[in-house]
Amino acid sequence: MSKPDFEQFLKESLEQTKEVAPKRDLWPGIERALVTQGHQQTQSSSYWPKLTGVAACTIAGLLAWQVVMKQPQQNTMTDISAFFEQQKQSLLVQYESQPALTSNWQEQLQELENAEQAVKVALQSDPENAALLKMLAQVYQQQLDLINKVHEPRWQQI
For residue 74, tell me if it sits in a domain: yes
For residue 41, tell me if it sits in a domain: no
Q: Give the per-residue pLDDT at 66.
A: 65
In the chain, which ranges are continuous DSSP H helix? 3-15, 27-40, 47-69, 73-94, 105-125, 130-151
Nearest CA to 80 among 94, 65, 69? 65
Q: Give the per-residue pLDDT at 32.
A: 81
For residue 91, tell me if it sits in a domain: yes
For residue 30, tell me if it sits in a domain: no
Give residue 107's domain range.
46-157
Q: How confident is the model over 21-42, as pLDDT tens digits?
A: 777 887 888 788 777 766 555 5
For residue 100, tell me if it sits in a domain: yes
- Calculate mean pLDDT across residues 114-123: 89
- Give the pLDDT band (50/70/90) at residue 140: confident
Nearest CA to 82 among 112, 132, 116, 115? 116
Question: Residue 86: how many CB atoms within 10 A of its CB?
Answer: 11
For residue 140, tell me if it sits in a domain: yes
| Number of domains comprising the chain | 1
Q: How confident is the model over 54-101, as pLDDT tens digits?
A: 777 777 777 766 665 554 445 667 777 888 888 888 878 887 777 777
The CA–CA distances, whole Å, from 41 to 19, 29, 37 equal: 34, 18, 6
- Give the pLDDT band (50/70/90) at residue 114: very high
* Whole-number Å distance between alpha carbons of 56 and 58: 5
Higher pLDDT, 139 or 56: 139
For residue 29, tell me if it sits in a domain: no
For residue 147, tell me if it sits in a domain: yes
- Contact (CB, 8 A) for 72 and 129: no
